[in-house]
Chains A and B, each alone.
Chain A
Amino acid sequence: MNRLEMLNALKADIDILARADEATVLGALPGWDSLAILLVVSHCEHVHDLEVRGPQIRACHTVADLLDLIKSLS
Protein backbone atom coordinates (compact mmCIF):
# COMPACT_ATOMS: atom_id res chain seq x y z
CA MET A 1 0.00 0.00 0.00
CA ASN A 2 1.50 3.37 -0.99
CA ARG A 3 1.21 6.51 1.07
CA LEU A 4 -1.87 7.86 -0.74
CA GLU A 5 -3.63 4.53 -0.33
CA MET A 6 -2.72 4.50 3.36
CA LEU A 7 -4.20 7.99 3.75
CA ASN A 8 -7.37 7.07 1.88
CA ALA A 9 -7.82 3.94 3.99
CA LEU A 10 -7.53 6.01 7.16
CA LYS A 11 -10.04 8.58 5.83
CA ALA A 12 -12.49 5.86 4.83
CA ASP A 13 -12.24 4.07 8.18
CA ILE A 14 -12.25 6.93 10.68
CA ASP A 15 -14.99 9.51 10.26
CA ILE A 16 -13.21 12.44 11.87
CA LEU A 17 -10.35 12.02 9.37
CA ALA A 18 -12.68 12.00 6.36
CA ARG A 19 -11.61 15.48 5.22
CA ALA A 20 -8.06 15.37 6.51
CA ASP A 21 -4.87 15.71 4.50
CA GLU A 22 -1.30 15.06 5.53
CA ALA A 23 -0.91 18.55 7.00
CA THR A 24 -3.97 18.24 9.24
CA VAL A 25 -3.07 18.74 12.90
CA LEU A 26 -4.67 15.86 14.80
CA GLY A 27 -5.15 17.77 18.04
CA ALA A 28 -7.10 20.46 16.18
CA LEU A 29 -9.70 17.99 14.90
CA PRO A 30 -13.01 18.00 16.80
CA GLY A 31 -13.30 14.52 18.25
CA TRP A 32 -9.58 13.71 18.41
CA ASP A 33 -9.84 12.00 21.77
CA SER A 34 -9.31 8.61 23.40
CA LEU A 35 -12.07 7.12 21.21
CA ALA A 36 -10.31 8.34 18.05
CA ILE A 37 -7.06 6.79 19.26
CA LEU A 38 -8.85 3.50 19.85
CA LEU A 39 -10.21 3.67 16.29
CA VAL A 40 -6.69 4.21 14.94
CA VAL A 41 -5.45 1.20 16.96
CA SER A 42 -8.27 -0.86 15.45
CA HIS A 43 -7.57 0.46 11.93
CA CYS A 44 -3.87 -0.40 12.16
CA GLU A 45 -4.64 -3.89 13.37
CA HIS A 46 -7.43 -4.54 10.88
CA VAL A 47 -5.97 -2.94 7.73
CA HIS A 48 -2.22 -3.25 8.29
CA ASP A 49 -2.01 -6.15 10.78
CA LEU A 50 0.05 -3.91 13.03
CA GLU A 51 0.00 -3.50 16.78
CA VAL A 52 0.23 0.21 17.60
CA ARG A 53 0.18 1.50 21.16
CA GLY A 54 -1.78 4.49 22.39
CA PRO A 55 1.27 6.61 23.35
CA GLN A 56 2.72 6.14 19.85
CA ILE A 57 -0.46 7.57 18.34
CA ARG A 58 -0.65 10.37 20.88
CA ALA A 59 2.90 11.39 19.92
CA CYS A 60 1.78 12.08 16.35
CA HIS A 61 1.21 15.80 15.68
CA THR A 62 -0.16 15.60 12.13
CA VAL A 63 -1.74 13.03 9.83
CA ALA A 64 1.66 12.84 8.09
CA ASP A 65 3.19 11.75 11.41
CA LEU A 66 0.53 9.06 11.72
CA LEU A 67 1.33 7.77 8.23
CA ASP A 68 5.05 7.82 9.07
CA LEU A 69 4.30 5.78 12.20
CA ILE A 70 2.33 3.16 10.28
CA LYS A 71 5.03 3.02 7.59
CA SER A 72 7.77 2.61 10.21
CA LEU A 73 5.97 -0.34 11.81
CA SER A 74 5.09 -2.04 8.54
Chain B
Amino acid sequence: MHSSLSNIRVAGIAVTTGSIVRDFIADGLAAGVERTALERTAQTIGLRERRVAAPGVTALDLCADASERLLAEMGLDATSIDAVIFVTQTPDHSQPNNASLLHGRLGLSKSAPAYDLSLGCSGWVYGLHQAALLCAHGGAARVLLCAGDTLSRLTNPGDRSTDPLFGDAGSATLVEKTGRAAPFHFVLGADGSGAQAIIVKQGGARQPGGPLTEKIDEDGNRRHDANLAMNGADVFSFTLREVPTSVQSVLRHAGFSPESLDALVLHQANRFMLSTLAKKIGVDEDRTPMGVVEKYGNQSSASIPCALVDGLGDRLTTGSLKIAGCGYGVGLSWGAFAGEFGPLAVAPILPFPR
Protein backbone atom coordinates (compact mmCIF):
# COMPACT_ATOMS: atom_id res chain seq x y z
CA MET B 1 0.00 0.00 0.00
CA HIS B 2 1.29 3.41 -0.94
CA SER B 3 0.35 6.48 1.07
CA SER B 4 1.46 10.10 0.81
CA LEU B 5 0.71 12.53 3.63
CA SER B 6 1.23 16.26 3.46
CA ASN B 7 1.61 19.05 5.99
CA ILE B 8 3.35 17.04 8.68
CA ARG B 9 6.86 17.09 10.08
CA VAL B 10 8.97 15.08 12.50
CA ALA B 11 9.62 17.65 15.22
CA GLY B 12 11.83 15.70 17.58
CA ILE B 13 13.35 12.33 18.49
CA ALA B 14 14.77 10.85 21.69
CA VAL B 15 16.04 7.35 22.43
CA THR B 16 16.67 5.65 25.76
CA THR B 17 18.55 2.36 25.92
CA GLY B 18 18.89 -0.36 28.51
CA SER B 19 21.64 0.26 31.05
CA ILE B 20 23.45 -3.08 31.07
CA VAL B 21 26.28 -3.52 28.55
CA ARG B 22 26.69 -7.04 27.16
CA ASP B 23 29.79 -8.00 25.19
CA PHE B 24 29.31 -10.46 22.33
CA ILE B 25 32.68 -12.21 22.64
CA ALA B 26 32.67 -12.37 26.46
CA ASP B 27 29.10 -13.70 26.55
CA GLY B 28 29.90 -16.29 23.88
CA LEU B 29 33.00 -17.51 25.70
CA ALA B 30 30.97 -17.80 28.90
CA ALA B 31 28.42 -19.88 26.97
CA GLY B 32 31.19 -22.27 25.88
CA VAL B 33 31.52 -21.10 22.26
CA GLU B 34 35.02 -21.18 20.71
CA ARG B 35 36.69 -17.80 20.32
CA THR B 36 37.44 -18.33 16.61
CA ALA B 37 33.78 -19.04 15.87
CA LEU B 38 32.76 -15.96 17.83
CA GLU B 39 35.25 -13.74 16.06
CA ARG B 40 34.13 -15.09 12.69
CA THR B 41 30.51 -14.28 13.51
CA ALA B 42 31.40 -10.89 15.00
CA GLN B 43 33.34 -9.93 11.88
CA THR B 44 30.82 -11.27 9.36
CA ILE B 45 27.59 -10.11 10.99
CA GLY B 46 28.90 -7.10 12.86
CA LEU B 47 28.18 -7.84 16.51
CA ARG B 48 30.17 -6.23 19.32
CA GLU B 49 28.14 -4.80 22.20
CA ARG B 50 24.50 -4.40 23.07
CA ARG B 51 22.59 -2.69 25.85
CA VAL B 52 19.85 -4.56 27.64
CA ALA B 53 17.35 -3.42 30.24
CA ALA B 54 18.08 -3.81 33.93
CA PRO B 55 15.83 -6.21 35.86
CA GLY B 56 12.36 -4.75 36.28
CA VAL B 57 12.77 -2.13 33.54
CA THR B 58 10.30 -2.44 30.67
CA ALA B 59 9.77 -0.89 27.25
CA LEU B 60 7.25 1.42 28.90
CA ASP B 61 9.92 2.73 31.29
CA LEU B 62 12.39 3.27 28.46
CA CYS B 63 9.84 5.07 26.29
CA ALA B 64 8.58 7.16 29.21
CA ASP B 65 12.13 8.32 29.88
CA ALA B 66 12.65 9.14 26.20
CA SER B 67 9.33 11.02 26.10
CA GLU B 68 10.07 13.07 29.20
CA ARG B 69 13.52 13.99 27.91
CA LEU B 70 12.15 14.92 24.48
CA LEU B 71 9.41 17.13 25.93
CA ALA B 72 11.98 18.81 28.19
CA GLU B 73 14.36 19.29 25.25
CA MET B 74 11.56 20.95 23.26
CA GLY B 75 10.14 22.92 26.16
CA LEU B 76 6.70 21.38 25.67
CA ASP B 77 4.03 20.53 28.20
CA ALA B 78 2.58 17.01 28.02
CA THR B 79 -0.94 18.44 27.84
CA SER B 80 -0.12 19.85 24.38
CA ILE B 81 -0.02 16.31 22.93
CA ASP B 82 -3.16 15.35 21.04
CA ALA B 83 -2.60 11.58 20.80
CA VAL B 84 -0.11 8.91 21.83
CA ILE B 85 0.71 5.77 19.84
CA PHE B 86 2.83 3.02 21.40
CA VAL B 87 4.50 0.44 19.16
CA THR B 88 5.65 -2.62 21.08
CA GLN B 89 5.62 -6.40 21.22
CA THR B 90 6.62 -6.40 24.88
CA PRO B 91 3.91 -4.44 26.71
CA ASP B 92 3.75 -4.31 30.50
CA HIS B 93 0.44 -6.21 30.54
CA SER B 94 -1.93 -7.92 28.13
CA GLN B 95 -4.42 -5.26 29.34
CA PRO B 96 -4.38 -2.26 29.50
CA ASN B 97 -2.19 -1.19 26.60
CA ASN B 98 1.12 0.57 27.05
CA ALA B 99 -0.15 3.79 25.47
CA SER B 100 -2.77 4.17 28.20
CA LEU B 101 -0.18 3.55 30.89
CA LEU B 102 2.10 6.15 29.33
CA HIS B 103 -0.85 8.54 28.97
CA GLY B 104 -1.39 8.34 32.73
CA ARG B 105 2.30 8.52 33.58
CA LEU B 106 2.90 11.66 31.48
CA GLY B 107 -0.39 13.29 32.48
CA LEU B 108 -1.82 13.73 28.98
CA SER B 109 -5.13 15.40 28.32
CA LYS B 110 -8.32 13.29 28.49
CA SER B 111 -9.06 14.36 24.94
CA ALA B 112 -5.90 12.58 23.74
CA PRO B 113 -6.50 9.02 22.48
CA ALA B 114 -3.91 6.37 23.40
CA TYR B 115 -3.44 3.10 21.55
CA ASP B 116 -0.85 0.44 20.81
CA LEU B 117 0.37 -1.07 17.57
CA SER B 118 1.62 -4.62 17.93
CA LEU B 119 4.61 -4.64 15.60
CA GLY B 120 8.33 -5.21 15.94
CA CYS B 121 11.17 -4.09 13.69
CA SER B 122 8.89 -2.52 11.06
CA GLY B 123 6.83 -0.78 13.74
CA TRP B 124 8.34 2.68 13.88
CA VAL B 125 7.44 3.25 10.22
CA TYR B 126 3.87 2.05 10.81
CA GLY B 127 3.68 4.30 13.86
CA LEU B 128 5.05 7.25 11.91
CA HIS B 129 2.42 6.63 9.23
CA GLN B 130 -0.30 6.44 11.86
CA ALA B 131 0.88 9.62 13.60
CA ALA B 132 1.12 11.39 10.25
CA LEU B 133 -2.44 10.29 9.40
CA LEU B 134 -3.73 11.74 12.67
CA CYS B 135 -2.02 15.05 11.93
CA ALA B 136 -2.88 15.18 8.22
CA HIS B 137 -6.48 14.00 8.46
CA GLY B 138 -7.40 13.28 12.08
CA GLY B 139 -7.53 16.65 13.72
CA ALA B 140 -4.34 16.27 15.75
CA ALA B 141 -1.67 18.95 15.80
CA ARG B 142 0.93 17.03 17.81
CA VAL B 143 1.25 13.23 18.19
CA LEU B 144 3.69 11.37 20.41
CA LEU B 145 4.92 8.13 18.85
CA CYS B 146 6.68 5.75 21.20
CA ALA B 147 8.37 2.62 19.87
CA GLY B 148 10.37 0.17 21.89
CA ASP B 149 10.87 -3.36 23.09
CA THR B 150 12.73 -5.48 25.58
CA LEU B 151 13.30 -8.46 23.31
CA SER B 152 16.37 -9.55 25.26
CA ARG B 153 13.93 -10.86 27.88
CA LEU B 154 12.39 -13.24 25.35
CA THR B 155 15.51 -14.99 24.12
CA ASN B 156 16.98 -18.13 25.64
CA PRO B 157 20.63 -17.83 26.76
CA GLY B 158 21.17 -21.21 25.12
CA ASP B 159 19.98 -19.98 21.72
CA ARG B 160 22.94 -18.51 19.87
CA SER B 161 20.74 -17.65 16.88
CA THR B 162 18.80 -15.01 18.83
CA ASP B 163 20.29 -14.33 22.27
CA PRO B 164 23.38 -12.34 21.16
CA LEU B 165 21.42 -10.12 18.79
CA PHE B 166 18.96 -8.01 20.70
CA GLY B 167 19.33 -4.82 22.69
CA ASP B 168 16.53 -3.11 24.61
CA ALA B 169 15.47 0.47 23.88
CA GLY B 170 12.59 2.89 23.83
CA SER B 171 12.13 5.84 21.51
CA ALA B 172 9.94 8.91 21.45
CA THR B 173 9.18 10.73 18.20
CA LEU B 174 7.06 13.85 18.05
CA VAL B 175 5.08 14.39 14.84
CA GLU B 176 3.42 17.75 14.21
CA LYS B 177 0.98 19.24 11.75
CA THR B 178 2.53 22.06 9.78
CA GLY B 179 1.45 24.11 6.80
CA ARG B 180 4.67 24.17 4.86
CA ALA B 181 6.24 20.75 4.69
CA ALA B 182 6.82 18.51 1.67
CA PRO B 183 4.84 15.26 1.79
CA PHE B 184 6.02 12.10 3.48
CA HIS B 185 5.65 8.91 1.45
CA PHE B 186 5.07 5.41 2.74
CA VAL B 187 4.94 1.92 1.26
CA LEU B 188 3.61 -0.63 3.77
CA GLY B 189 3.26 -4.36 3.26
CA ALA B 190 2.91 -7.74 4.94
CA ASP B 191 3.31 -11.43 4.16
CA GLY B 192 1.43 -13.41 6.77
CA SER B 193 2.37 -16.68 5.10
CA GLY B 194 5.78 -16.18 6.70
CA ALA B 195 4.44 -15.48 10.20
CA GLN B 196 6.16 -18.53 11.70
CA ALA B 197 9.63 -17.21 10.78
CA ILE B 198 9.73 -14.96 13.87
CA ILE B 199 7.49 -16.11 16.69
CA VAL B 200 6.98 -16.38 20.44
CA LYS B 201 4.43 -19.18 20.62
CA GLN B 202 3.45 -18.94 24.25
CA GLY B 203 1.94 -15.97 26.05
CA GLY B 204 -1.04 -15.10 23.89
CA ALA B 205 -4.59 -16.46 23.94
CA ARG B 206 -3.76 -19.42 21.66
CA GLN B 207 -1.17 -20.82 24.04
CA PRO B 208 -1.43 -18.83 27.27
CA GLY B 209 0.68 -21.08 29.45
CA GLY B 210 1.82 -24.61 30.03
CA PRO B 211 5.06 -26.43 30.70
CA LEU B 212 8.19 -24.77 29.36
CA THR B 213 10.11 -27.68 27.91
CA GLU B 214 13.38 -26.73 26.24
CA LYS B 215 14.10 -28.26 22.86
CA ILE B 216 17.41 -28.33 20.97
CA ASP B 217 17.42 -27.51 17.25
CA GLU B 218 19.77 -28.92 14.59
CA ASP B 219 22.38 -26.23 15.36
CA GLY B 220 22.33 -27.04 19.07
CA ASN B 221 20.30 -23.99 20.09
CA ARG B 222 18.01 -24.40 23.09
CA ARG B 223 14.64 -22.69 23.47
CA HIS B 224 11.13 -23.24 24.81
CA ASP B 225 7.77 -21.96 23.59
CA ALA B 226 7.92 -18.72 25.60
CA ASN B 227 11.23 -17.84 23.91
CA LEU B 228 11.64 -15.88 20.72
CA ALA B 229 12.34 -18.24 17.83
CA MET B 230 13.67 -16.92 14.54
CA ASN B 231 14.51 -18.65 11.27
CA GLY B 232 17.40 -16.41 10.31
CA ALA B 233 17.85 -17.70 6.75
CA ASP B 234 14.16 -17.27 5.90
CA VAL B 235 14.08 -13.79 7.44
CA PHE B 236 17.18 -12.89 5.45
CA SER B 237 15.57 -14.16 2.21
CA PHE B 238 12.36 -12.26 2.93
CA THR B 239 14.31 -9.08 3.59
CA LEU B 240 16.32 -9.33 0.39
CA ARG B 241 13.09 -9.98 -1.53
CA GLU B 242 10.87 -7.22 -0.10
CA VAL B 243 12.98 -4.37 1.26
CA PRO B 244 14.83 -3.19 -1.87
CA THR B 245 11.67 -3.20 -4.00
CA SER B 246 9.72 -1.35 -1.29
CA VAL B 247 12.41 1.30 -0.93
CA GLN B 248 12.67 1.69 -4.70
CA SER B 249 8.88 2.05 -4.83
CA VAL B 250 8.75 4.73 -2.13
CA LEU B 251 11.60 6.59 -3.83
CA ARG B 252 9.62 6.64 -7.08
CA HIS B 253 6.56 8.03 -5.27
CA ALA B 254 8.70 10.68 -3.60
CA GLY B 255 10.51 11.59 -6.80
CA PHE B 256 13.84 10.80 -5.15
CA SER B 257 16.70 8.85 -6.70
CA PRO B 258 19.13 6.76 -4.63
CA GLU B 259 21.84 9.25 -5.60
CA SER B 260 19.80 12.21 -4.34
CA LEU B 261 19.33 10.82 -0.82
CA ASP B 262 21.27 12.29 2.07
CA ALA B 263 20.78 9.05 3.97
CA LEU B 264 19.23 5.60 3.79
CA VAL B 265 18.12 4.64 7.30
CA LEU B 266 17.19 0.98 7.62
CA HIS B 267 16.16 -1.14 10.57
CA GLN B 268 19.45 -1.99 12.26
CA ALA B 269 19.29 -5.78 12.16
CA ASN B 270 22.99 -6.40 11.62
CA ARG B 271 25.83 -4.92 9.57
CA PHE B 272 25.82 -7.79 7.06
CA MET B 273 22.14 -7.28 6.30
CA LEU B 274 22.51 -3.49 6.08
CA SER B 275 25.49 -3.71 3.79
CA THR B 276 23.71 -6.17 1.49
CA LEU B 277 20.55 -4.06 1.36
CA ALA B 278 22.40 -0.79 0.72
CA LYS B 279 24.19 -2.42 -2.20
CA LYS B 280 20.95 -3.72 -3.69
CA ILE B 281 19.17 -0.38 -3.27
CA GLY B 282 22.10 1.50 -4.79
CA VAL B 283 23.10 3.74 -1.90
CA ASP B 284 26.71 3.71 -0.76
CA GLU B 285 27.55 2.68 2.78
CA ASP B 286 28.74 6.18 3.72
CA ARG B 287 25.12 7.34 3.46
CA THR B 288 23.69 4.29 5.24
CA PRO B 289 24.06 4.52 9.03
CA MET B 290 25.15 1.13 10.40
CA GLY B 291 26.66 1.93 13.76
CA VAL B 292 23.69 1.25 16.01
CA VAL B 293 23.72 -2.53 16.01
CA GLU B 294 27.39 -2.79 17.05
CA LYS B 295 26.89 -0.40 19.97
CA TYR B 296 23.37 -1.20 21.13
CA GLY B 297 22.24 -4.43 19.41
CA ASN B 298 19.11 -4.96 17.33
CA GLN B 299 16.64 -2.64 19.07
CA SER B 300 13.48 -3.78 17.29
CA SER B 301 11.15 -0.83 16.58
CA ALA B 302 13.52 1.65 18.28
CA SER B 303 16.38 0.99 15.88
CA ILE B 304 15.43 3.44 13.10
CA PRO B 305 14.96 6.44 15.45
CA CYS B 306 18.19 5.40 17.18
CA ALA B 307 20.00 5.32 13.82
CA LEU B 308 18.60 8.77 13.00
CA VAL B 309 19.91 10.17 16.29
CA ASP B 310 23.17 8.21 16.38
CA GLY B 311 24.15 8.61 12.76
CA LEU B 312 22.55 11.90 11.73
CA GLY B 313 21.60 13.70 14.94
CA ASP B 314 23.98 16.65 14.57
CA ARG B 315 22.94 17.28 10.96
CA LEU B 316 19.24 16.91 11.76
CA THR B 317 19.31 19.56 14.47
CA THR B 318 20.66 22.20 12.10
CA GLY B 319 19.37 21.37 8.64
CA SER B 320 17.05 19.40 6.45
CA LEU B 321 17.96 15.98 5.06
CA LYS B 322 16.35 13.93 2.33
CA ILE B 323 15.96 10.51 3.95
CA ALA B 324 14.46 7.18 2.93
CA GLY B 325 14.41 4.00 4.93
CA CYS B 326 12.65 0.78 5.77
CA GLY B 327 11.69 -1.28 8.77
CA TYR B 328 11.19 -5.04 8.33
CA GLY B 329 10.55 -8.00 10.55
CA VAL B 330 7.93 -9.90 12.52
CA GLY B 331 4.67 -10.53 10.71
CA LEU B 332 6.31 -10.73 8.32
CA SER B 333 5.88 -7.01 7.68
CA TRP B 334 7.74 -4.09 6.21
CA GLY B 335 7.33 -0.34 5.91
CA ALA B 336 9.35 2.00 3.71
CA PHE B 337 9.33 5.77 4.04
CA ALA B 338 10.78 8.79 2.27
CA GLY B 339 10.67 12.45 3.16
CA GLU B 340 12.49 15.54 4.34
CA PHE B 341 13.61 15.39 7.98
CA GLY B 342 14.83 18.37 10.00
CA PRO B 343 15.62 20.70 11.41
CA LEU B 344 14.30 18.88 14.47
CA ALA B 345 14.98 18.51 18.19
CA VAL B 346 17.24 15.62 19.15
CA ALA B 347 17.78 14.47 22.73
CA PRO B 348 20.98 12.47 23.31
CA ILE B 349 20.91 8.68 23.49
CA LEU B 350 21.08 7.83 27.20
CA PRO B 351 20.67 4.66 29.27
CA PHE B 352 17.94 4.19 31.86
CA PRO B 353 18.30 4.13 34.77
CA ARG B 354 21.25 6.52 34.77
Binding site for B on A (CB under 8 A): 15, 31, 33-35, 37-39, 41-42, 45-46, 51-54, 57-58
Q: What residues of A have a CB within 8 angstroms of the CB of B259 in the complex?
A: none
A-B pairs, 8 with minimum CB distance: A54-B233, A37-B233, A45-B240, A34-B219, A41-B233, A34-B161, A41-B236, A38-B236
> B286 on the interface (CB 8 Å rule)?
no
Contacting pair B41 A42 (CB below 8 A):
no
Q: What residues of B have a CB within 8 angstroms of the CB of A51 in the complex?
A: 237, 240-241
**CB-based nearest B residue for A56:** B233
Q: Which of B250-271 contact A (CB under 8 A)?
A: none
> B37 on the interface (CB 8 Å rule)?
yes
Roughly how many angstroms separate A45 CA and B238 CA in the complex, as a whole number? 11
Q: What residues of B have a CB within 8 angstroms of the CB of A45 in the complex?
A: 237, 240
Given A42-B236, A46-B276: A58 in contact with B218 (beta carbons within 8 A): yes
A-B residue pairs in contact (CB < 8 Å), sample of 27: A31-B40, A34-B219, A35-B40, A35-B41, A35-B44, A35-B45, A37-B232, A37-B233, A38-B232, A38-B236, A38-B272, A39-B44, A41-B237, A41-B240, A42-B236, A42-B240, A42-B276, A45-B237, A46-B276, A51-B240, A51-B241, A52-B237, A53-B233, A53-B234, A54-B232, A54-B233, A54-B237
Q: What residues of B have a CB within 8 angstroms of the CB of A35 in the complex?
A: 40-41, 44-45
Given A45-B240, A52-B237: A33 in contact with B44 (beta carbons within 8 A): no
> B231 on the interface (CB 8 Å rule)?
yes
Binding site for A on B (CB under 8 A): 37, 40-41, 44-45, 161, 218-219, 231-234, 236-237, 240-241, 272, 276
In the assembled complex, how far is the CB of residue A25 from the closest CB belonging to chain B, in whole angstroms?
15
Most chain B CB neighbours (cut-off 10 Å) among A35, A42, A45, A57: A35
In the assembled complex, how far is the CB of residue B160 from the closest CB belonging to chain A, in whole angstroms?
8
Roughly how many angstroms separate A12 CA and B141 CA in the complex, as a whole number? 55
In the assembled complex, how far is the CB of residue B195 from the closest CB belonging to chain A, in whole angstroms?
16
Q: What residues of A have a CB within 8 angstroms of the CB of B232 in the complex?
A: 34, 37-38, 54
**CB-based nearest A residue for B276:** A42
Roughly how many angstroms separate A41 CA and B276 CA in the complex, as a whole number? 12
Roughly how many angstroms separate A33 CA and B44 CA in the complex, as a whole number? 13
Q: What residues of A have a CB within 8 angstroms of the CB of B240 in the complex?
A: 41-42, 45, 51
In the assembled complex, how far is the CB of residue A46 from the closest CB belonging to chain B, in whole angstroms?
7
Roughly how many angstroms separate A8 CA and B161 CA in the complex, as a whole number? 29
**CB-based nearest A residue for B230:** A34
In the assembled complex, how far is the CB of residue A19 from the closest CB belonging to chain B, in whole angstroms?
16
Contacting pair B40 A57 (CB below 8 A):
no
Roughly how many angstroms separate A35 CA and B233 CA in the complex, as a whole number? 8
Roughly how many angstroms separate A74 CA and B325 CA in the complex, as a whole number? 31
Contacting pair A53 B161 (CB below 8 A):
no
